[in-house]
Amino acid sequence: MQQTTVGVSLVGCGSARLPTILSNADLSKMVETSDEWIATRTGIRQRHIAMEQDSLSSLAASAGATALEMSALSPEEVDLIILATSTPDDLFGSAAQVQAHLGATRAVAFDLTAACSGFVFALVTAAQYMRLGVYQTVLVIGADVLSRWTDWSDRRTCVLFGDGAGAVVLRASDRDRLRGFEMRSDGALNGCLTLPYQSESADLVEGKTSQQGTFAPVSMNGKEVYRFAVKRVPEIIEKALFRADLTTKDIDWLLLHQANQRILDAVANRLDIPAERVISNMSRHGNTSAASIPIALDEAVRDGKIKPGDVIASSGFGAGLSWGAAVFEWG
Indicate the residue among 267 and 301 with the shorter CB distance to ligand ACO: 267
Candidate list 13, 116, 158, 192, residue with the active-site label? 116
Q: Which of 9, 42, 97, 315 binds ligand ACO (CB under 6 A)?
A: 42
Cα separation of 253 and 297, whole Å? 10
**Do residues 137 and 107 lie in contact, with contact meaning Cβ atoms separated by under 8 Å?**
no
Indicate the residue among 86 and 136 with the shorter CB distance to ligand ACO: 86
Indicate the residue among 77 and 224 with the shorter CB distance to ligand ACO: 224
Amino acid at the residue 84? A
Q: Is residue 287 at the binding interface for ligand ACO, with CB under 6 A as the rule?
A: yes
Closest CA to 168 of 288, 311, 70, 31: 70
Cα separation of 52 and 54, whole Å? 6
Whether 285 is a known active-site residue: answer: no
Q: Spell out, one character per residue from 64 to 103, where the chain touches ligand ACO: x when CB under 6 A holds, - when not.
A: ----------------------------------------
Q: Could you say which residues in the range 179-218 bind ligand ACO, by CB under 6 A? A: 193
Q: Kindly give, in sequence order, each residue whose CB lies less than 8 Å from that of residue 81, ignoring residues fewer than 6 positions away.
A: 64, 95, 98, 99, 102, 104, 107, 108, 109, 110, 138, 139, 141
Indicate the residue among 244 and 282 with the shorter CB distance to ligand ACO: 282
Q: Is residue 37 at the binding interface for ligand ACO, with CB under 6 A as the rule?
A: yes
- Nearest approach, Cβ of 83 to ligand ACO (angstroms)? 18
Q: Is residue 281 at the binding interface for ligand ACO, with CB under 6 A as the rule?
A: no
Q: Is residue 147 at the binding interface for ligand ACO, with CB under 6 A as the rule?
A: no
Candidate list 24, 101, 192, 257, residue with the active-site label? 257
Indicate the residue among 7 and 222 with the shorter CB distance to ligand ACO: 222
Q: Is residue 156 at the binding interface for ligand ACO, with CB under 6 A as the rule?
A: yes
Whether 287 is a known active-site residue: answer: yes
Cα separation of 163 and 147, whole Å? 7
Residues near ligand ACO (CB under 6 A) are 33, 37-38, 41-42, 116, 155-156, 159-160, 193, 220, 222-223, 225-226, 229, 257, 259-260, 262-263, 287, 317-318
